[in-house]
Structure 1
């Protein structure tokens, strides 16, 4: 009888500091911002700037922000990611598939090496890597592949693996997003406008061929269709820009300052590019963006949480894993 390689799943997210302290944040940001996929400046220019100016200034500020969103069990990104991994394993078990599921982070702990090593120790020979980025970007998904390459360099036996590149237009993803909007509208009342805020990237990256903005646009269009919204009722923007160069536009903060003047007093906002709530959603959107909107004359601001570990999201992951297994055969 032909040997069937044992399969496993590695869920991957960006990563998070181990603690909400300046030291831990500095360590995490150093690894993250050293990646040429994230910041592609010439190293001899960037590294002195990063270590001499940016990290000493930013780490204490960011640590304070993390302290404001930190959960009992740790960073929100880590807590929700761990719950996702546990629930995905359970749901696969219900399908009579005893498949190991582990977490790996592109930056910080547990590392991609830790996740892969744990799967190998459980006898896994073929790994399905699921980066939790619905829309592909060189800054995120490609960075996962780079990180896997580095992890494999430390291994004697390298498993075969496949990477789920994106799922920005998957019907179950769109439906899960739409259902989360409907739930919010049932509780808070339907707003005049639904804003989809995506994490930004420098415009230059898109000009050089990154498909991320097209994926974000497709997600928004499909969500609008699913909810029956026209272009006056839904829009998309980009948040979290950093540095002085131009990033993808329109910018979330600038848009929030103008919407009330266009008659939008009740706003619903969501972050479809984030698979779990984290600093960028819980602090930047839920607090900073709310303040901008209300200061500009808004009256009601409703933030819809990320899909996190809700059942529809886990069902999507099961489907992605099963589809990948079929295509790998």
Structure 2
């Protein structure tokens, strides 16, 4: 029987005896919720947890592609697609995309996530050559104007290879390295940092009645197994980011369960990326039908994630998010 530990995260300069730092951050915990698939949950003291679990939860995360994982990083979304759910068609030319990238970096984005295939619910498959044509020249142009980390949002090895040659420094696979068997070996070969996301099904069908035995533990187990698989291939765990995949094959209830329990994923020993920007459940709960008017809801959920130790926020609204982070940090 697998036992899981979700740290009950707290914040404050004054810590009680026995407090344990969370992933090397200013956050800490003295207790955790012990979970399993066969028993009721219970609360245990941090000092009573297994040593290896406590170490996974507490040790500082190494830098990823030179970025400090002990401070919050903003990943700006830049889709070179005609049909992405929020910004489709906005950056179809290299000139407009480069201008958007320049703005995001000036607004404090430290990562630019470039995508050439929409992964919104119901999205159709994009052929590899078309995805490369959308992303490779854009990455080349952006690389010439900024030193920000460029991430390629793709599930295809050929696209990742072209992006890597063009100057990308992070491979972000929404399929969690389950779609293309050649992608993970390529990342291991070149030593590329990666982000492993959970998605049930594929974009075309993922929102067709998604079901789980236990969404929190099922997503954790998937990410745990994929991280181990990548390690077997030769990727170092400190080069791996994990993403629970909010909105990818999940109902509103599934999303909220994951968001309430994000601190569990620190047990994987990897930085956590949270991507909630402008998503459907934010519109539903926040009562906002306009996708580009969901910054307040997106920021609220993002800050809730940061309170649980999330290291990277993937967002459309960079300036607004950065402003909120500065105030959030000052108050805390």
Could you state the TM-score of these two structures normalised by the residue count of structure 2?
0.28
* Max Rg structure: 1
Could you state the TM-score of these two structures normalised by the residue count of structure 1?
0.28
